Amino acid sequence: MKLSRNTLVFAFGLAIALFAGWFVFPRVLYVKQQQPLDFLHKTHAEKSGIAECSECHTLRDDGSFAGLPPMEKCAGCHSERIGESKAEAILVNDYIKPGHDTPWLVYSRQPANVWFSHAIHVKRAGLACTECHSTYGESDQVRIYQVNRISGYSRDIWGHSMSRLRRAPHEGMKMSDCEDCHQQHGVEVGCLGCHE
Amino acid sequence: MASAAFADSRWIARGAERVSLPRFLLWLAPWAALLALGVYAAGLCLYYGLNQTNMDNRFAFGLWIFLDLGIIALGAGAFFTGFLVYILKRAELRPILNSAVVLGFICYSGAVAILMIDVGQPLRAWFTFWHPNTHSMLTEVTFCISCYLLVLCLEYIPILLRNRQLRRLPSFLVFEHQLHKLVPVLAAVGTLLSFFHQGSLGGLYGVLRGRPFAYRAGFLIWPSTFFLFILSAIATGPSFLMLVTATVEKITGHRLVPQEVFRRLAFISGVLLAIYVAAKSVDTLIWLNITSPAEGFAPWQFYGYKPFGTPILFTEIGLFGLLPACLLTFRATASRRAWLLTAAAMACAGVLLNRFVMTVQTLALPTLPFDDFLQYTPSWQEVASFAGVIAYGVIVYSLSYRYLPLFAPLKGGDSHVSGD
Amino acid sequence: MSARYGMVIDLDRCTGCGSCMVACAAENNVPALPQATPRTGLTPILVRRVSNGRDGAERREGFIPIMCMHCEHDTPCVKVCPQQAVEVDKATGIVMQMPQRCLGCRYCMTACPYHARYFNWWDPAWPTGMEESLNPGVAVRMRGVVEKCNMCHARLHAAKEKAAAAGKREIDPVDYIPACVEACPTGAIHFGNLADTNDPVCKEARSPDAFRLLARLGTEPKLYYKSKEAWVRALAESSAPASEVQHG
Amino acid sequence: MKVTRRDLLVWSAGAAAGLMVTPVPWKILDDVSIWSQNWPWIPQPARGPVETKQSFCTLCPNGCGLKVRMAAGWPVGVAGMKTHPVTGGALCPLGFGAHQLNWHPQRLRNVQHRGQTSSWNNALAAFAKACSQGPVVVIDGFPGRAASQVLRGFADKRGGSYRVIANAETRVLAPYEAWSDVPASALGYDLENAQTIVSFGAPMLDGWGTPGRFARMWAERIAGMNDPALRLIQIESGLSRTAARAWKWIPVREGTESALASGLARVLLEQKLVPAHGPIPAATISEVAAQTGVTAEAISDLARSLVTQEPVLAIASDYDPAVAALNVVLGAVGARGGIVRRSQKAEAYLPAGAEIPNARAVLIDSSVPWTFAPQTEAEIFRFAAWDGGLLKADWLLPAPGFLEELTDVPTPPTAAVETYAVAPALTKSAADVRSAAQFLAALDAGVTSSEKVIHARCAELFHAHAGTLHAQQSIPLQKIVSVEKLEEQLWAGAVWVGEPLRSAGLHCELTKWPATARSAPRESWASVWTAPVLPPLASKLYIESNLREAPPRRNV
């Protein structure tokens, strides 16, 4: 009788902890943030016939990566409103007309002390964009950006799965993920190979 | 008057005579104040950073490291007594064992606390466990000291649980009993760990190829200082034990351990000290004549700067080494309490001086031809935070003495001399 | 592939102007510290004044820039760091300091015979707006960590990236020149690959006028000095001259 | 049923066990470690494209060529312009931190009237009023710029006077102006062709002339050599940087360099080491020896060694007619490797003394050294990019800072040939700033703008068809097809270098031997720095190391 009571109480504590840890904790740890407007990669790929990521996400002449396209790039087509969507209105009225860049929340933004060269990985190593960024380029909706309360970085760095078990290769952008890939390809770089 | 209100006699072991609570609190008050000051100073260093200290780029280690090495050496009495009692079965030393454990606990926890202030990014200190550099003596130190501190806690708990009130809880009693069976194992583990980190602390400086004053040739991966530090620590640990016990006896006015425990400790301490002095002398000669010339440094360069002349070397080896070794070993002097304690004090002074020379002189001396000899005086924050650790030690020891059976009660009338 | 970057500094050409120090600080986002002293400042490259110890008209003085010597063998700082915040890069031979890994124990500073390592005693700070003038290629170090010369690693990054973008494997040497080398008005600092026997720097390092500080410690520093003046070359060996020792 | 203490213990044991197999402890540990590795409060460099631009430093008259790295529209680093014909990529140590100056806490951000914040309109009104009431004196620090022409034009138009503050190197040239009819602004030092340079306390390696110009010659032709192709003899009381690195150092009693110059001249003339020249210095060798502390033998040895490797050029640290006279005696005036005339058309300037009599308004350009403090009843309008709390004026007017305005770079004071370059504005100013020239243009529509003058000068250069243009490669000017092309090149950082004059056209006659002057030793690069503040990173030299003595009265 007593023993069983103990077991019950123990199991109860266990259950509470497991629930809190696996279901409550992630929702508390990450804050959801909306992107400034609904940008649809899919639409741009299909309608405006943009085939390559590099058409908008360009490498500069010095090899550095320009990242997200500047406002001018968008203004190339969206100088005036195309279509009636809400996003369209926001883009044109809030950003293109006043002429400043859209404050996108970058899912894969790394800490300032990380040095990552797209040129080296794409040009020399010949990696496809999807190997790290998955098929986001074909997505027909803008994802919610989740920021970590403690570290202040995007959830994509850790990857969506809390356990990090059985995750896709593109999931997670932690140092260990870089190291794993480098190990697999036998590419050795020292600390300052990837840090500033 | 109010003393009746918070009489704590229920907590004090039966038959043990302790001063009244107010008087005890009176004794604690100044130490508590000192501790508070220390905590404040440490807070300053943690909040504003190490610019609160007088350390600088050349004097990157200062008072703290010196005193850390010092108290850790003195704290060696804990593991060594454990080693003697449980491994070498020297039962006659049992009466002093608990006190030794508490002392060890105080020294090590104090040292670790100071180290946490001493590093620039305390929150990253644990990285050492995650990305350890196995070639670094400091890694060895970090691992061993933290593990050994854990061991000391485990050794401390059973003593804690033997408190009159606590042992009334059945579950605690069981726990204590189980734990007690574990103590010999702990003693063995502690001994191993301690040997290593005492050595690594010596290695810390012995491996400094770039500091010819500290650099020593050695055996395998260990420079000679590795072994010298172990020797000096276990040689002076017992002396420190005697000093503390004697002081406590003086303060409380109780005779706490039988005289022959002292004599036994003195003999062990003396013999080991003699061995240490011999080894140290040989090492010094090798270093001065072979190691350092090979690096292009003539010995006179090390002792050309006041106040670090050759006298400091002879004081360390002769006055505070050989002399106390003799005094402690020979019955004639060792049986005289006054001589005994003087010698013990000298031995402790010797080990402190050695640690001082290794840490401070090493950094003060120039290496580049156009360097100059550097002075450094610790800031009040450095002194205060360390004084805080001393105070913490006194408080913990006083409480343990009052409420825990640190010393097995002696048979025969123990005279109650008044004093606080 | 693997290079051994090193320098040869022609001390006869050094006027002690300090351009290298300022250029280095600007390149590497080293903050200016009004509250610092010569003993607590941050000077990854530090020009020091040396003399032949004589007085009057006999006195000769010179200047000797001190920075991380990037020791090759048994590197003292690498060996002592408890958590692998320092390493010798296999590809370049550069001794790297990772401030984000560093816990600020300063053991490496006591290990370095050249005093080429510096501790961030204060929080890095710039007057309002001056953050705009920081070099985007270099992460700012925080209070409580050790830093030192990383051989202008940001410039190596840029060179690598440029090469990759151009589809080349090897960087173009002209793209990777450390700030101090670029800044020196008399061209006293020569930077190159010591592993490449055709590299002029490699040849210079073998010239009879070349020497290394405290070479007998056996740490194989990759920073060479050279001078035609005997009293300057005498600085290579040993510690303080007897004259200075007496009045210690 | 009631919960016992035991239940609580068991429950928490279970909870603890459970927690260990959830992400909670591990994830928190990981995040905390990331957080503790990138403290969010650490300043972060801006992201954005990095580009390299060429321009010129305008913080002293030497106008060094700059290679400026720009990120997100702000300069993030400066280096020397390797293609620059004079500096060859050198800068003074202070220049390397100049890109941070615009954010200096002492930056003058708004119009100050006697300590009160005021406005440009008030300043304009006040200045207009003052000008209408009496003569105006305009003071310029770097004469010969386009802006200088605007300032001078205004002064002439208003019947005021235009005066300049000459720097030490120009003051040194003053005696030759007096003894010939050639203005000092047309004279230069032909270091490149000299074989022996005897410097009377001039900081040849530490703040003299254009950075890099002499330093590189020294490095190539003197450093570490026993018998160098170029001898540098330093006559100075202390072991300055130059003295320490010179071929020979002659220690003399403080302030007696000038006396030694006369002594040397006397030896040269007495011992007929040089062709006879007019007057002979009064002081005998023994007197000079007693005065300078250099033995008579040493003096005559030195004198003889001077003429063993010619051409020889004597350089004073500041205005010192005796040293100039020594040059005359040595035949170094108007000769190759000596003091040469570099330009035919150069204007003489009225130097501005500390006293400025009978003026109603004094307008001080931002190029005037911060140390200049006029004694006058007139209302002072002073332009400055930085205040430093040291500038005394009725009106402090915020001027453009480093690389914030288009300006041109005329021939530096010491140059042996004419040069011309244009320094485009690379960055916008955080504050509402105006240059003195802009201020005057706003006041008087009749005043031209610097831009116009620069264009005019470019046209002039183009039509003269002389000299070469130094950019990535050197192009003779004849090869330039149009003014536009020339301007395009100049705006991109090219430097025009004129040809050396065929006929020296400089001749000095001494009537009587000049009195000796007592010139104070110079204090290194910081002394040519016009701004009252230094780049913050100068702390590396002055505070965080023992390399240099902190310059006096300057908030480093």
Is residue C248 scored above 60 in pLDDT?
no
The owner of tokens 């051409």 is: D311
Which residues contact residue B88 at a Cβ distance below 8 angstroms, ignoring those fewer than 6 apart?
A: none
ipTM value for the complex: 0.92
Q: Is C237 part of the contact surface with chain A (CB cutoff 8 Å)?
A: no
Predicted pLDDT at C247: 34
How far apart CA D307 and CA D301 sit, in angstroms, is 10
Contacts of D129 (CB under 8 A, 6+ apart): none
Asked whether this chain's domains D50-103 and D169-345+505-522 adopt the same fold, the reply is no
Quick one: pLDDT at residue C238? 60
Residues of chain D with pLDDT under 50: 556
Q: Does D97 touch chain C (CB under 8 A)?
A: yes
For residues B112 and B131, what is the distance between their CA atoms, to the nearest angstrom?
A: 20
Task: Inform me whether the pLDDT recorded for B80 exceeds 90.
Answer: no
Confidence of residue B416 (pLDDT cuts 50, 70, 90): very low
Report the C-alpha gap between D80 and D180 in whole angstroms.
37
**Cβ-defined contact of B128 to C103 (cutoff 8 Å):** yes
Instruction: Give the nearest partner residue to A29 out of D27, D44, D49, using CB atoms.
Output: D27
- Buried b / exposed e along D360-370 (16+ C-beta atoms within 10 A): bbbbbbbbbeb
Q: Which residues pair with A195 in a beta bridge?
A: A114
Q: Residue B6: which pLDDT band, with cuts at 50, 70 and 90?
A: low
Q: How many CB pairs under 8 A join C and D?
A: 211
Q: Where are the domains of chain D?
A: 5-37, 50-103, 169-345+505-522
Alpha carbon distance D197, D210 (integer Å)? 16
User: CA-CA distances (angstroms) from residue D366 to D109, D128, D138, D435?
Assistant: 14, 19, 11, 8
Token pair of B355 as six digits: 């640690």
Compute the 3-state secondary structure of chain C and give helix, strand, coil in percent, each to the nearest 5.
30, 15, 55
- By CB atoms closer than 10 A (0-12, 13-18, 19+), residue B390 is middle
Q: Which tens digit of pLDDT belongs to each residue from C60-115?
A: 899 999 999 999 999 999 999 999 999 999 999 999 999 999 999 999 999 999 99
Q: Which residues pair with D407 in a beta bridge?
A: D423
Is residue D66 a contact partner of residue D495, using CB atoms and an 8 Å limit?
no
In the block, tokens 């400086």 appear at B205
Closest CA in chain C for residue A113: C139
Would you kindly state where each structural domain of chain A is located, as residue ranges? 1-33, 104-196
Provide the CATH topology of domain B30-254+278-305+355-403.
Formate dehydrogenase/DMSO reductase fold (1.20.1630)
Our answer on whether B and C touch (3+ beta-carbon pairs < 8 Å) is: yes
User: How far is B213 from B367, CA to CA, in rounded Å?
Assistant: 9
Q: Give the contacts of D432 (CB within 8 A, at least 6 positions apart).
A: D109, D110, D120, D398
Length of chain B: 420
Q: How far apart are CA D293 and CA D355, in angstroms?
A: 37
Beta carbons of B38 and B332 less than 8 angstroms apart: no
Contact D32 B123 (CB under 8 A): yes
Tell me which chain C residue has its CA closest to the CA of residue A112: C139
Asked if C103 and B125 come within 8 Å (Cβ–Cβ), the reply is yes
CA distance B123 to chain D (A): 7
A116, two tokens: 């990552």
Using CA atoms, how far apart are residues D37 and C102, in angstroms rounded to an integer? 9
**Position of tokens 């780029």?**
B57
Chain centroid to CA D109: how far?
23
d(CA D314, CA D233): 9
* CA closest to D294 among chain C residues: C57
| DSSP-derived secondary structure letter, B406 | -
User: Domain C5-235 maps to which CATH number in 3.40.50.720, 3.30.70.20, 3.90.340.10, 3.30.420.40?
Assistant: 3.30.70.20
pLDDT one-digit tens code per residue, D172-212: 999 999 998 899 999 999 999 999 999 999 999 998 999 99
List pLDDT tens digits, range B107-165: 999 999 999 999 999 999 999 999 999 999 999 999 989 999 998 888 888 888 888 77
Distance CA B42, CA B40 (A): 5
d(C-alpha C106, C-alpha B245), whole Å = 37
CB proximity C3 to D under 8 Å: no
pLDDT at D296: 94
Give bridge partners of residue D315 from the DSSP assignment: D199
B121 touches chain D (CB under 8 A): yes
Cα dihedral D226→D231→D237→D239 (10° resolution):
-50
Q: Measured between alpha carbons, how far is D364 from D377 in angstroms, rounded to an integer? A: 15
Average pLDDT over residues B45-61: 94
Assess whether chains B and A touch, using the rule of 3 or more C-beta pairs within 8 angstroms: no
How far away is chain A from the Cα of C134, in angstroms, using its nearest Cα? Answer: 13
DSSP D401: -
Burial label, B289 (beta-carbon count in 10 A; 0-12, 13-18, 19+): exposed
Q: Which numeric CATH code is attached to D169-345+505-522? A: 3.40.228.10
Cα distance from C160 to chain A (closest Cα, Å)?
8
Nearest-Cα distance to chain C for B364, in Å, is 11
pLDDT tens for residues D26-84? Answer: 999 999 999 999 899 999 898 888 999 999 999 999 999 999 999 988 999 999 999 99
CA distance B71 to D35: 34
Residue C34 touches chain D, beta carbons under 8 Å: yes
Residue C163's closest chain A neighbor by CA?
A: A63
Q: Looking at chain B from residue 126 to 145, which residues have their Cβ under 8 Å from any Cβ of chain D?
A: 127
How far apart CA D177 and CA D184 sit, in angstroms, is 5
**Contact (Cβ atoms closer than 8 angstroms) between residue B199 and residue B229:** yes
Instruction: Answer whether B108's CB lies under 8 Å from B154's CB.
Output: no
Nearest to C90 among A61, A117, A190 (CB): A190
**What's the pLDDT score for residue C244?**
42
Nearest CA in chain A to D17: A14
Q: Which of C13, C21, C131 sits opposite D540 (nearest CB)?
A: C21
Q: Do D452 and D437 touch, CB atoms closer than 8 A?
A: no
CA B174/CA B242 separation, integer angstroms: 33
Q: Dihedral of the CA atoms C216, C217, C219, C220 (nearest 10)? A: -10
Residues contacting residue D471 through CB under 8 Å, at least 6 positions apart: D83, D489, D492, D493, D494, D495
| Residues 415-434 (D) with a CB less than 8 A from some CB of C | 430
| pLDDT for residue B409 is more than 60 | yes
Helix, strand, coil distribution of chain B in percent, nearest 5: 75, 0, 25
Give the Å distances, CA to CA, from D117 to C128, C129, D111.
20, 21, 6
Q: If we measure between CA atoms, which residue out of C121, C147, C106 comes closest to residue C39?
A: C121
Q: What is the pLDDT of residues C208-218, one digit of tens each?
A: 999 999 998 98
Residues of chain D with Cβ-Cβ distance to A22 below 8 Å are 22-23
3-state SS, residue C147: strand
C96 to chain A: which residues are within 8 Å by CB?
Answer: 190-192
Environment class of B298 (CB within 10 Å of its CB; exposed 0-12, middle 13-18, buried 19+) = middle
Structure tokens at C51: 């003399």
Put simply, the answer to whether C94 touches A192 (Cβ < 8 Å) is yes
Is A190 close to C169, i.e. CB distance below 8 A? Answer: no
User: Which of A7, A14, A153 to substitute to test the interface with D, most D CBs within 10 Å?
Assistant: A14
Whether D514 has its CB under 8 Å from any CB of chain C: the answer is no
The dotted CATH code for D50-103 is 2.20.25.90
Percentage of chain C beyond pLDDT 70 is 95
Give me D529's structure tokens. Answer: 């720095």
Nearest to D352 by CA among D330, D335, D368, D334: D368
Cis check for the bond before D105: say yes or no (omega within 30 of 0). Answer: no
Q: Which chains touch B (3 or more CB pairs under 8 A)?
A: C, D
